[in-house]
Amino acid sequence: AAATATRRVRDGAEAKEKPKKKEKLSSLCKTPPSIVRTRNGRDYQRGLFLGEGGFARCFQMKDSSGQIFAAKTVAKASIKNEKTKTKLLSEIKIHKSLKHPNIVNFIDCFEDDVNVYILLEICPHQSLMELLKTRKVLTEPETRFFMTQVVGAIKYLHGRRVIHRDLKLGNIFFDPNMNLKIGDFGLASVLPAGDSRKYTICGTPNYIAPEVLGGKTTGHSFEVDIWAIGVMMYALLVGKPPFQSRDVQVIYERIKNIDFAFPPDKEVSPEAKALIKDLLSLNPLHRPTIDEILQYDWFKGPIPSTITPETLVGKPRNV
């Protein structure tokens, strides 16, 4: 079974590990002062609380020109041990190196006495997780629109040898223009050139690939992100993740046995089913590569030219 020590479980609405006695690290983060002054003398005005994960709390921040950002705020008290510090520095280093229209833009990073702040482009329409919660299920053209953007961003990541390792609906945000932005590089890793693999067990139960559950002997690589694309595509079209259960151990058993089905009351096209089936292959080498995904017939279907904020509340009339 997968070790729990290194696993971070964060998606509020999705299955969780047994409640931990330990407090969330993010609860150590006190609300930042109303004016945050950086060491090089720039002032930011703190605004609304945007949300929290296991590690960070996020606030709106306004600079002196009135531009609004999101500040991921991590309490220094929560990064006392070396491992946590190394992880945060790795997240910053990787995220800072990325620039793509479908990746949350990294703006700056600074600290005061109490917190470290990661300043990011603001994504005011929340994530695909909240969208799905409101809409229950999306249409195939909408899902195609979103998947095209997600695949484009992951193609960019994999091209730079970055594995995200925590792709899930709650980590894919909307910018003001309803474009998707992949965020949270807290578990991301850069794979050195050559045939190396990663051996740390991490991820969120519903989205974990079977080879990660296999433990330290097999290792994992880029294919874990491809698996997560399959989980997300299924969830958007069916309304819940494919291996969903209240019991995390049941989720893991289902993942290891590829035990999922398409509910008969949900209309999912044969082309979508064929792609999901390949993405959720047990053997990572049988999954399509990021370049192969867009060649599937499902991507030849209709695609909306734009998505409007009305999408957040109801099914669009023409798709």
CB of 290 to ligand ADP, least distance (A): 23
Among the candidate windows 182-190, 203-211, 269-277, 294-302, which touches ligand ADP by CB under 6 A? 182-190
Estimate to the nearest angstrom the gap between the alpha carbon of 48 and the chain centroid: 22
| CA pair distance 129, 131, nearest whole angstrom | 5
99 annotated ligand binder? no
One-letter amino acid for residue 100 of the chain = H
* Active-site residue flag, 291: no
Q: Which of 11, 43, 166, 259 is catalytic?
A: 166
Q: Is 284 in the site for ligand ADP (CB under 6 A)?
A: no
Q: What is the 3-state secondary structure (H, E, C) of the chain?
A: CCCCCCCCCCCCCCCCCCCCCCCCHHHHCCCCCCEEECCCCCEEEEEEEEEECCCCEEEEEECCCCCEEEEEEEEHHHHCCHHHHHHHHHHHHHHHCCCCCCECCEEEEEECCCEEEEEEECCCCCEHHHHHHHHCCCCHHHHHHHHHHHHHHHHHHHHCCEECCCCCHHHEEECCCCCEEECCCCCCEECCCCCCCECCCCCCHHHCCHHHHCCCCCCECCHHHHHHHHHHHHHHHHCCCCCCCCCHHHHHHHHHCCCCCCCCCCCCCHHHHHHHHHHCCCCHHHCCCHHHHCCCHHHHCCCCCCCCHHHHCCCCCCC
Q: Is 44 in the site for ligand ADP (CB under 6 A)?
A: no
Decide whether 122 or 180 has the Cβ nearer to ligand ADP. Answer: 122
Decide whether 38 or 126 has the Cβ nearer to ligand ADP. Answer: 126
Q: Which of residues 78-107 bind ligand ADP (CB under 6 A)?
A: 104
Among the candidate windows 53-61, 77-85, 264-272, 297-305, which touches ligand ADP by CB under 6 A? 53-61
Decide whether 26 or 281 has the Cβ nearer to ligand ADP. Answer: 26
Q: Is 55 in the site for ligand ADP (CB under 6 A)?
A: yes
CB of 67 to ligand ADP, least distance (A): 14
CB of 234 to ligand ADP, least distance (A): 22
Decide whether 133 or 216 has the Cβ nearer to ligand ADP. Answer: 133
Among 75, 151, 183, 307, binds ligand ADP (CB under 6 A): 183
Q: Is 242 in the site for ligand ADP (CB under 6 A)?
A: no
The residue count for binding ligand ADP (CB under 6 A) is 22
Q: Is 10 in the site for ligand ADP (CB under 6 A)?
A: yes
Question: Residues marked as binding?
Answer: 76
Q: Where does this chain bind ligand ADP (CB under 6 A)? A: 10, 26, 50-56, 58, 70, 72, 104, 120-123, 170, 173, 183-184, 186
Q: Catalytic positions, please? A: 166
